[in-house]
Structure 1
Amino acid sequence: MAQEAGSATAEDSGLDTGRAEPRGSGRPAPPKGRGFPSAVARSGRVGGLDGLRTVAVALVLVYHVAPDVLPGGSVAVDVFFTISGFVITRLLLAEYARTGGVALLPFYRRRWLRLVPALLAVCAVCAILSVTTPLWGFDDSLPAAGLSALFLVNVVRAAEPGPYGDLTGPLAHTWSLGVEEQFYLLWPLALLVLLRHARARTVLLCTAALCALPVLWRCVLWQPDAAHRIYNGTDTRADQLLAGALVAVVLARLRADDPRLAVLRAWAGRLAWPALGLLALAAWRMPVTADAGPWTVAWYTVGFLCVAVLSAVLVAALELRPGGGLSRLLSLTPLTWVGRNLSYGVYLWHYPVVRLLASLGMKDGLLPATAVLTLLMALLSYYVIEAPFLRRARRPAPGAAARQPAV
């Protein structure tokens, strides 16, 4: 749920113009990162995506406090997956276009500094409440803290055939962070191999093919007892992240004057509001974690891909049509600021806060109380933990400039 950003001018971006320089021209040779002429130009922040993050995390909070109001509110996590796949892939492609390679160790360092310190703070608070208070919501939270810190909550939940146990307790929601981190570990490696050994068009086709594999795998795995396995597995949810990656690859491939880009822009504009409406309908009416008969079977097999496609349409529309009505709405300053700076903290803290207030016996006013306390904790997390580590993440690692560890 975190987004990095970078910018460069057309002159210094290292874009491949597709034209060989004449001998003796004195100009530098074209970079190695061929085939993605728009990668650097499309590596900046997208205000609408930050606003979409705010809406998504609000849906997740409501879902965990009042699931009867939004029985399908967890669909917002699916939207987060697609946004994450898009953002990470376009950053990797921009680096490849500039340098002809991808420095994996600095990438992993930035991811660690962005995500782990705040997560460890939440884990520490839950562990301390577990050993110092009688609050039932934090009973035996030490194992949960360890699993969450190692991004293994999704693995534990995937192995539970029946109802979820309380092993992951107040940190059960960090299953989605496990999926994202495991994807971040594997996808840059796979993308780098493709970039090094395949043409740009082949990279695009392979990314599209990879999107289809989790759907087939879910169909093979499906049975009622496999619901947790499918819902929590990185392999079974990868198409939602890869859908965002595919959007990033497609847009990086197309030049600004490519007529196909105009077609994509037009269709993204036409489909954006219907896609948002269908996602809202799923959040309002689809009982994702309940047994809804044929609907559940469809959801756990092809449904995740359908949500990924709808999310990808939104991502493409927000990227390609910044002046459109939806983009302007989601780019309102309060939405973008919260999405950019607080959405990760809100996601981390909201579920422990729900457990805390429920353990204290609060029933009336639980939703507004959770929202207020969660925002306060997210603000504290951002200014005390996340912002300082973000500043470190933006600085090169010691000796990185000398080593130039692009791989």
Structure 2
Amino acid sequence: MEEQFYLVWPPVLLLLLSLGRRRRTLVLGLSTVVVAASAASWLSYRTPSGGSTPDVYFSPVLGVVPLATGCVLALLLDDERCRSFASGLAGHLGTWAGAAAVVGVQFWIGDDWTDHAWTFGLLMPATGLAAAVLIGGLVSVRTPVSVALSWSPVAWFGRRVSYSAYLWHPLVIALLGTFAIGWFGNVWLFAAAVIVSIGAAYAIEVPVEKLRARVREARRLVAEDHAARSAAAS
């Protein structure tokens, strides 16, 4: 879903902008997509059997909701008036309200979250919206929340480990989850997922990034050499 988004959204955005579509039209259109996809997720929910995750959780219809929400946020923050609005009281309110909502969901949601259609049609889209409001506030004003998230260890985790954790934690839970009993079991299961994620990040992502940097540097040197030869020949 994510890779498809990277392939589809940029050309669609460029096409719409080239056709003279205004930012407000794009925001309204994407907002309509968010609402419609959320409603479709709710309506397409089917009660799972055996405690399994409903198919709607893996559906592109639900997956497009947070992606479209992020696009709306990007379009709004690219507008000078919106940035000015967010740099004041609205940014502070957005930061604290968004943070409270995101953290609150983690404590409020129960183990039976897969048994309710409104989880997928309302709770998940609302959580994505809260996250967007939080991000908008974080990048617009300085608050204790933004300072805490800018702390070097936290920033390192977000930059280096968080995506790896997103990819690897389901595998860790699938392999070790049955051995995690009680709150202590959840603690060591969480720790195991973090350790695996850090290892995967430095075993896979870091070498790939270094290789990419070397390739780019080699291309730059070749381009400079070609330009120098062309200049000398002329």
**TM-score, scaled to structure 1:** 0.46
The answer to whether the aligner puts 1:240 opposite 2:93 as a matched pair is no
Q: Deviations over 1:179-198 (max 9, x none)?
A: 33333333233223223323
Unmatched tracts of structure 1, length 5 or more: 1-178, 403-407
1:246 and 1:393 mapped to 2: Cα distance? 31
Q: Comparing both chains, which one has the higher relative contact order based on Cα–Cα distances under 8 Å and sequence gaps of 6 or more?
A: 1
2:219 and 2:14 mapped to 1: Cα distance? 23
The letter for the 1-side match of 2:153 is P
The answer to whether the Cα contact below 8 Å between 2:38 and 2:122 also exists between their aligned partners in 1 is yes
1:370 and 1:232 mapped to 2: Cα distance? 24
The answer to whether the Cα contact below 8 Å between 1:211 and 1:242 also exists between their aligned partners in 2 is yes
2:211 and 2:20 mapped to 1: Cα distance? 34
Secondary structure of the equivalent of 2:201?
helix
After superposition, where does 1:5-404 map in structure 2 within 5 Å?
A: 179-201=1-23, 202-224=25-47, 228-254=54-80, 258=81, 260-265=82-87, 266-287=89-110, 289-291=113-115, 296-321=116-141, 323-357=142-176, 363=181, 365-394=184-213, 396=216
The answer to whether the Cα contact below 8 Å between 1:182 and 1:234 also exists between their aligned partners in 2 is no
**Structure 1 residue aligned with 2:226:** none
Displacement of 1:397 after TM fit? 10
CA RMSD of aligned residues (A): 3.2
Secondary structure of the equivalent of 2:78?
helix
2:198 and 2:153 mapped to 1: Cα distance? 14
Residue 347 and residue 211 in structure 1: after superposition, are their counterparts in 2 closer, same or farther (change >3 A)?
A: closer
Q: Counting helix residues as a fraction of each chain, which structure ranks higher? A: 2
Residue 312 and residue 383 in structure 1: after superposition, are their counterparts in 2 closer, same or farther (change >3 A)?
A: same
The answer to whether the Cα contact below 8 Å between 1:207 and 1:242 also exists between their aligned partners in 2 is yes
2:40 and 2:97 mapped to 1: Cα distance? 28
Residue 300 and residue 352 in structure 1: after superposition, are their counterparts in 2 closer, same or farther (change >3 A)?
A: closer
The answer to whether the Cα contact below 8 Å between 1:183 and 1:234 also exists between their aligned partners in 2 is no
The letter for the 2-side match of 1:252 is D
Divergent runs of 4+, >6 A: 397-402
**TM-score, scaled to structure 2:** 0.74
